[in-house]
Chain A
Amino acid sequence: MTTPGGAILVWLETEGRGLGEASKRLALIASDLAKQGQLTVHGAIMAGAYGPPPLGAFAGLGLTGVLAFKGRHRPTVGERAAALLQAAKLLSPDILLVASDERGREMAPMVAARLETGLTADCVSLRLENGLMVQTRPAFGGDLIAEIITPIARPQMATVRVSGAQPVKANGEREPRPPWRGHGPGHEPGLADPTLPTLEVLLAPPVMGEPTVLKRTPLSADDDLEKASVVIACGLGLGGPEGVSKAKNLADKLGASLGATRAAVDRGWLPGHRQIGLSGRAVSPNLLITLGVSGSVQFMAGAGGAKDIIAVNADPRAPILALARVGLIIEMENLWPELEDRLGPL
């Protein structure tokens, strides 16, 4: 049972001299969850050789305390896990949350295995029910939604999909909401309690035998799909590379980022890193415009974080038309000339 006065521990990552977006959203999600059960939220973070971010970086996120572990610059996944494990042993939290990004999904199971506790991966929604954290996640390729609990082992661990995650309402909403209708955290930093957490700096626990990184090559994502406020997704209904090229020009003119369905990527119309979906990227823009996308469950798994969806599809039976706020049944061939009339050649 989650007893009042217990703790939620969240793992945070730095970005520059502050916190990464994913970490801030995770803290707010934890903060919403904490209100349901009178819990406090603590953060753990690796500080790098020069120390943690300034205290102000942790403001307004609902954190009571932060444990910063001074260690190597660019720690390995194993070193992160060791630090988080140390924090867990110090705080004995009821709940431990890690953002579901590439490294989070590697370090969390290491910590869970060491603590011999349960871990639910890639949750889209969290809430407290009868004192237990109910972890909602897609399974079977997204065809099924599973609600999972860790009845006995502690802490209850979850990796949380932050870009498309739904906030849990402070009024303790009981009904599971369809996860594909996420509205993002619904908070901006600064609106929550502005008090600053206490900060304790510790030495990161040493880990011997860790892998040695010999070379590191940064890869630029030549797009900021996850940060975009408007995303245009290209589907098979665009017909081919010409349609995609028009979509790209449309995106440029509207200041939007370009994404694609798996089907379009498989046909080589767009590069793989633009794929949105269960096996692609998750986006949470203010507006998602889909062009010729049918809206498979796999696609929606990556697109569900969008606050607003306008779907364009000539087929009235396309599933996405039911999921979008606005469904426009129209052929792309008939739409392009109009858009060009308004925006110029595409």
Chain B
Amino acid sequence: MTDKSPLPPDSPALRDESRLSGWAEGLGSPADRRAASELIGQSLAKGIPMTFQGARTGLRGAGVPNGGLIVGAARLDRVEGLRRGQWGFELLVQPGYRLADLRRDLATRRPNLAASQAEPEALKELLAEFRAEELFWPPDPSETSATMGGLASTNASGPNRSRFGRAADHLSGLRVILHDGQEYNLERGAFKFGPQGLPLPTGRLLEADPKALGLPPEADLLDLLAGGQGMYGFISGLWLKLAKAPAHLWGLVFFPDSEEKAVSLIEAILDDPPEALISLDFLDLPSLSVVSVLRQSAKKLREIPEPPTGAASAVSLELMADDESLIESASERIIQNCLDRGCDPDQSWALVGTEVEKSRLFAHAVPEGLGSLLDSVRAGGYPAVMTATDFTRPDLRFGQNLGECRRDLREMGLTAVTFGHALDNHLSVNFLPKNAEEAKRATELMGHWLERAKNAGGELFFGQGVGKLKKELFLAHESPERIASLRAAKKALDPNGLFNPGNLFD
């Protein structure tokens, strides 16, 4: 199970989607929790650093190893339990269980509960009730091949974040293997921050206050672990809180023929957002080109038509409601918004129910295509990595935010692929540096934007986390209090520094 020889440099296990690559002495893929405990316990005893990996879909290098042993969660992909919590049904899954598996199991309502420890009779009854419901896991990030462990570790969110929140908001429990080699079952609220700090199941106390860590006052240990990027322990199980799925889901994509019209349409919708609106995304012209390029090689993308000729941008939104007439009237209002702002409402796609997969696939093709384009640059000789930044500007309207970025890009003589979740006033600006000089300028510009976002009270590493890629920027722009608190947390939970070394700080 564990190969002691060093992994060859081109082994896929040494890389993730960020295109960063590392090195490791071995790879272990435990097939069950006991094996995982054993492996981690042995490594802890021998002082071997570990890097925890899910599906290696991360964009910031959090799963890229920095020596030591890779502990891959891919084979821990079972459903271990089903229960009824105070908020509704909850599913206990292993960390390697993928979002795609979850969506399949919720759609078919037939999770494979063979690995469950529960009483078969009681489980049968519960399963019958479960199957009578239409459920979903609200965060719904777009990378469906990501593992639940990975999504929890980065506290991931999807385009619907402003409506539904992030991964941590939808976890009611975690199983985690901590630095003492023990596996702990942590329920929500079991270990809460108190006036002295956060008591830990290992018996220690983390002296820190939640605010300094960027957490709400009623936060608990789960909130620290989620988004912890594997630095505090190995997540070996997750209780997912499921919610009742609204009966209707529509995905609309409009293709304005200029960026100004797109911004205008977005701001019109934001001025009076329909109740059913759960996400509103902007894709610029370079984004559309990226998708077009990826289409050449991805057969699945070719099932979706090309955007209409003349499209200079895309505005993609989703509407969700129990009452379809709410969605229909929202659509009519948005058509009116189009007409008022000079957009042609017939340059659009309207997808209903499971067809919404198509607009999601389309939007998701942008980051995926960026990866392919990065690979082309790398093939040309320069070892480019994901050079991108995600930030929010709560102080500006969407158009102003975008306008500022455009101006800065022009001034620095840089081009970028830009998209954003307009409901969060978020922008993701992605560079494709062809050489070290361009990369340097891009990094400088990103630092500049992060500084402004920080001053405006915005979020700096929205959606993708810090990992290894953003370490420098993180250390440069994050407040000293935050960094100090995080170091304290790391010291308390990983005193020997053996978990995911190199993430966030050395």
Chain A residues close to B by CB (< 8 Å)? 239-240, 242-243, 265-268, 272, 314-316, 331, 333-334, 336-337
How many residues of chain B have a CB within 8 Å of chain A? 16
Inside 8 A of A315's CB, which chain B residues have their CB?
75
Q: Given A314-B29, A315-B75, A331-B29, decide whether A337 and B8 contact each other with a Cβ distance below 8 A.
A: yes
Q: How far is the CB of A246 from chain B (nearest CB, A)?
A: 9
- Whether A333 contacts B11 by the Cβ 8 Å rule is yes
Stretch of B83-91, B270-278, B293-301 on the interface side:
B293-301
Bound complex: CA A266 to CA B8 (Å): 27
- Whether A334 contacts B3 by the Cβ 8 Å rule is yes
Instruction: Assess whether B10 is interfacial by the CB under 8 Å rule.
Output: yes
Bound complex: CA A239 to CA B3 (Å): 18
Q: Given A314-B29, A333-B27, A337-B5, decide whether A267 and B298 contact each other with a Cβ distance below 8 A.
A: yes
Chain B residues close to A by CB (< 8 Å)? 3, 5, 7-8, 10-13, 27, 29, 31, 75, 297-300
- Whether A333 contacts B297 by the Cβ 8 Å rule is no
- Whether A314 contacts B75 by the Cβ 8 Å rule is yes
Inside 8 A of B29's CB, which chain A residues have their CB?
314, 331
Bound complex: CA A314 to CA B10 (Å): 20
- Total contacts A-B at CB 8 Å: 31
Bound complex: CA A145 to CA B462 (Å): 51
Q: Given A314-B29, A331-B29, A333-B3, decide whether A268 and B10 contact each other with a Cβ distance below 8 A.
A: no
Q: Given A266-B299, A333-B27, decide whether A243 and B5 contact each other with a Cβ distance below 8 A.
A: no
Q: How far is the CB of B344 from chain A (nearest CB, A)?
A: 32
Inside 8 A of A314's CB, which chain B residues have their CB?
29, 75
Q: How far is the CB of A337 from chain B (nearest CB, A)?
A: 7
Q: How far is the CB of B337 from chain A (nearest CB, A)?
A: 36
Bound complex: CA A232 to CA B297 (Å): 21
27 contacts between A and B (CB under 8 A): A239-B12, A240-B12, A242-B10, A242-B12, A265-B299, A266-B298, A266-B299, A266-B300, A267-B298, A267-B300, A268-B297, A268-B298, A268-B299, A272-B299, A314-B29, A316-B31, A331-B27, A333-B3, A333-B7, A333-B11, A333-B12, A333-B13, A333-B27, A334-B3, A336-B8, A337-B5, A337-B8
Q: How far is the CB of A248 from chain B (nearest CB, A)?
A: 15
Q: Sorted from nearest, which 10 A-B pairs have the closest CB atoms?
A: A268-B297, A239-B12, A266-B300, A268-B298, A266-B299, A240-B12, A334-B3, A242-B12, A265-B299, A272-B299
Inside 8 A of B12's CB, which chain A residues have their CB?
239-240, 242-243, 333
| Closest B residue, CB atoms, query A239 | B12
Bound complex: CA A214 to CA B85 (Å): 69
Inside 8 A of B5's CB, which chain A residues have their CB?
337
Inside 8 A of B3's CB, which chain A residues have their CB?
333-334
Inside 8 A of B13's CB, which chain A residues have their CB?
333
Bound complex: CA A333 to CA B10 (Å): 11
Inside 8 A of A337's CB, which chain B residues have their CB?
5, 8
Q: How far is the CB of B245 from chain A (nearest CB, A)?
A: 26
Bound complex: CA A333 to CA B75 (Å): 14
Inside 8 A of B31's CB, which chain A residues have their CB?
316
Q: How far is the CB of B142 from chain A (nearest CB, A)?
A: 16
Q: How far is the CB of B325 from chain A (nearest CB, A)?
A: 36
| Closest B residue, CB atoms, query A275 | B299
Inside 8 A of A272's CB, which chain B residues have their CB?
299
Q: How far is the CB of A280 from chain B (nearest CB, A)?
A: 11
Q: How far is the CB of A299 from chain B (nearest CB, A)?
A: 16
Bound complex: CA A85 to CA B31 (Å): 60
Inside 8 A of A334's CB, which chain B residues have their CB?
3
Bound complex: CA A268 to CA B10 (Å): 20
Inside 8 A of A265's CB, which chain B residues have their CB?
299
Inside 8 A of B7's CB, which chain A residues have their CB?
333
Bound complex: CA A336 to CA B13 (Å): 13
Q: Which of B8, B12, B31, B298 counts the most chain A CB atoms within 10 A? A: B12
Bound complex: CA A268 to CA B295 (Å): 9
| Closest B residue, CB atoms, query A315 | B75
Bound complex: CA A267 to CA B371 (Å): 13
Bound complex: CA A289 to CA B422 (Å): 49
Q: How far is the CB of B289 from chain A (nearest CB, A)?
A: 17
Inside 8 A of B297's CB, which chain A residues have their CB?
268
Inside 8 A of A266's CB, which chain B residues have their CB?
298-300
Inside 8 A of B8's CB, which chain A residues have their CB?
336-337
| Closest B residue, CB atoms, query A272 | B299
Q: How far is the CB of B30 from chain A (nearest CB, A)?
A: 12
Bound complex: CA A331 to CA B28 (Å): 10
| Closest A residue, CB atoms, query B70 | A333
Q: How far is the CB of A279 from chain B (nearest CB, A)?
A: 11
Q: Which of A243, A266, A268 counts the most chain B CB atoms within 10 A? A: A268
Q: How far is the CB of A243 from chain B (nearest CB, A)?
A: 7
Bound complex: CA A334 to CA B297 (Å): 29
Q: How far is the CB of A220 from chain B (nearest CB, A)?
A: 21
Bound complex: CA A239 to CA B17 (Å): 13
A333-B12, A336-B8 are known contacts; what are 16 more A-B pairs with Cβ within 8 Å?
A: A239-B12, A240-B12, A242-B12, A266-B300, A267-B300, A268-B297, A268-B299, A314-B29, A315-B75, A331-B29, A333-B7, A333-B13, A333-B27, A334-B3, A337-B5, A337-B8
Inside 8 A of A268's CB, which chain B residues have their CB?
297-299
Q: How far is the CB of B208 from chain A (nearest CB, A)?
A: 39
Bound complex: CA A334 to CA B3 (Å): 7
Q: Which of A243, A267, A314, A333 counts the most chain B CB atoms within 10 A? A: A333
Q: How far is the CB of B367 from chain A (nearest CB, A)?
A: 15
Bound complex: CA A333 to CA B3 (Å): 9
Inside 8 A of A316's CB, which chain B residues have their CB?
31
Inside 8 A of B10's CB, which chain A residues have their CB?
242
Q: How far is the CB of A8 from chain B (nearest CB, A)?
A: 40
Bound complex: CA A268 to CA B297 (Å): 5
Bound complex: CA A316 to CA B3 (Å): 19
| Closest A residue, CB atoms, query B300 | A266
Bound complex: CA A48 to CA B180 (Å): 82
| Closest B residue, CB atoms, query A265 | B299
Inside 8 A of A333's CB, which chain B residues have their CB?
3, 7, 11-13, 27
Q: Which of B27, B29, B75, B299 counts the most chain A CB atoms within 10 A? A: B299
Bound complex: CA A316 to CA B75 (Å): 10
Q: How far is the CB of B64 from chain A (nearest CB, A)?
A: 15
| Closest B residue, CB atoms, query A262 | B299
Bound complex: CA A314 to CA B3 (Å): 14
Q: How far is the CB of A234 from chain B (nearest CB, A)?
A: 14
Inside 8 A of B300's CB, which chain A residues have their CB?
266-267
Bound complex: CA A331 to CA B5 (Å): 15
Q: How far is the CB of A145 from chain B (nearest CB, A)?
A: 23
Inside 8 A of A243's CB, which chain B residues have their CB?
12
Q: How far is the CB of A41 from chain B (nearest CB, A)?
A: 41
| Closest A residue, CB atoms, query B8 | A337
Inside 8 A of B298's CB, which chain A residues have their CB?
266-268
Bound complex: CA A323 to CA B98 (Å): 26
Q: Which of B11, B29, B298 counts the most chain A CB atoms within 10 A? A: B11
Q: How far is the CB of A40 from chain B (nearest CB, A)?
A: 47
Bound complex: CA A254 to CA B11 (Å): 22
Bound complex: CA A267 to CA B301 (Å): 9
Bound complex: CA A131 to CA B7 (Å): 63
Bound complex: CA A176 to CA B300 (Å): 36
| Closest A residue, CB atoms, query B31 | A316
